Structure 1
Amino acid sequence: MDAQAFPVRQWRVPAGVPLAKLAGAVVLVALGLLLAEGDPVQLTLIGLVVAGLLGWALRDLLAPVRLALDPAGVVVAQGFAGRRLLPWATVERITVDRRPRLGLTTELLEIDAGESLHLFGRYDLGATPDEVAEALRAARPA
Structure 2
Amino acid sequence: MDETPPVRQWRVPTSLPAAKLVGAVLLVALGLLFADGDPVRLALAVLAAAALAAWAVRDLVAPVRLAVDAAGLTVIRGFAGRRRLPWSTVEAIAVDRRPRLGLTSETLEIDAGDSLHLFGRYDLGATPEEVAAEVRAARPNP
Give me the TM-score of the superposition, normalised by structure 2.
Answer: 0.94
Give aligned pairs, total.
Answer: 138
- The one-letter amino acid paired with 1:51 is A
Q: Runs of 5+ in structure 1 lacking a partner?
A: none
3-state SS of the aligned residue for 1:43? helix
Q: 1:43-87 CA deviation, whole Å, 9 max, x = no partner?
A: 111111011000000000111000001221010000111100011
* C-alpha distance in structure 1 between counterparts of 2:119 and 2:103, whole Å: 17
Q: Runs of at least 4 residues of structure 1 off by over 2 A? A: none
- Give 1:46's aligned residue: 45
Cα offset, 1:107, TM superposition: 0.2
- Give 2:82's aligned residue: 83
- The one-letter amino acid paired with 2:77 is Q
Cα offset, 1:141, TM superposition: 1.1
- Give 2:34's aligned residue: 35
* C-alpha distance in structure 2 between counterparts of 1:70 and 1:139, whole Å: 7
* C-alpha distance in structure 1 between counterparts of 2:41 and 2:69, whole Å: 47
* C-alpha distance in structure 1 between counterparts of 2:92 and 2:37, whole Å: 53
Higher alpha-carbon deviation: 103-112 or 34-43: 34-43
- The one-letter amino acid paired with 2:32 is L
Cα offset, 1:27, TM superposition: 1.0
* C-alpha distance in structure 2 between counterparts of 1:25 and 1:137, whole Å: 38
* C-alpha distance in structure 2 between counterparts of 1:121 and 1:76, whole Å: 13
- Give 1:108's aligned residue: 107
- The one-letter amino acid paired with 1:47 is V
CA RMSD, aligned part only? 1.2
Q: Runs of 5+ in structure 2 lacking a partner?
A: none
3-state SS of the aligned residue for 1:17? helix
Q: Does 1:140 align with 2:139?
A: yes
Aligned positions of 1:21-32 closer than 5 A: 21-32=20-31
Give me the TM-score of the superposition, normalised by structure 1.
Answer: 0.94
Identity of aligned residues (%): 72
